[in-house]
Amino acid sequence: MPENEDYKTSLHHDDDVLEQLFNELFREYEHRLYAFIIKVVKSDAQTKDILQDVFLKLWQVREQLPEIQNINAFLYKLAENKVYDFLRRAARYENVRNEFWQSYQQYHSPDGGDLEAKEFNGIIQKAIEQLPPQRKAIYLLTTREGMKRHEVAAELNLSPNTVRNQLSEAIHYIRQYVNKHLSGFFSFLF
């Protein structure tokens, strides 16, 4: 490879061209993709998160933009895939939450299950107390305060993706902790 200034300038120029192309695509497709996504997701905040993921992916593959034959189809397929990912995660979260609630209600029965419920809650509380401070704050704001991911992100000055990842890590840790410290009825759930 040549090490002269013309080669370095052409590379810099190519980066500028790719960035300009990306910016043009963003301006052209941002509102159209938003309208496409919101029809399925029905949440402004979630739609914005998905849209951000779409354009992040586009930025990551920006060097391939000149080779893409149908950018319209490419962007809509990318948005569709991100929506499917979101729906799968949402369904999985909803199923786990419903299973937990049903199991908890059975475990917390009127025939003397209060002691077991207190023990279970104590174990969960101990697990929460052992979380790193930021992860703990995210978990508590989400589960106890009922805040949405974007609200927690704004409150703690974090990205929604960081909140999502930290919440996932917190839930994973709590499950492991409960499995380790609670034998019997709930061990299959976590």
- At residue 52, the pLDDT reads 93
- At residue 98, the pLDDT reads 61
The CATH code of domain 111-188 reads 1.10.10.10
pLDDT per residue as tens digits for the range 92-137:
666 666 665 665 555 545 454 455 556 767 778 888 889 999 998 9
Fold of 5-85: Rna Polymerase Sigma Factor; Chain: A (1.10.1740)
Domains of the chain, residue spans:
5-85, 111-188
* Non-local CB neighbours of 13 within 8 Å, separated by 6+ positions: none
pTM, two decimals, is 0.47
- At residue 96, the pLDDT reads 60
Question: How far is Cα 113 from Cα 85, in angstroms, rounded to an integer?
Answer: 39
pLDDT per residue as tens digits for the range 137-165:
998 888 777 788 888 899 899 988 888 88
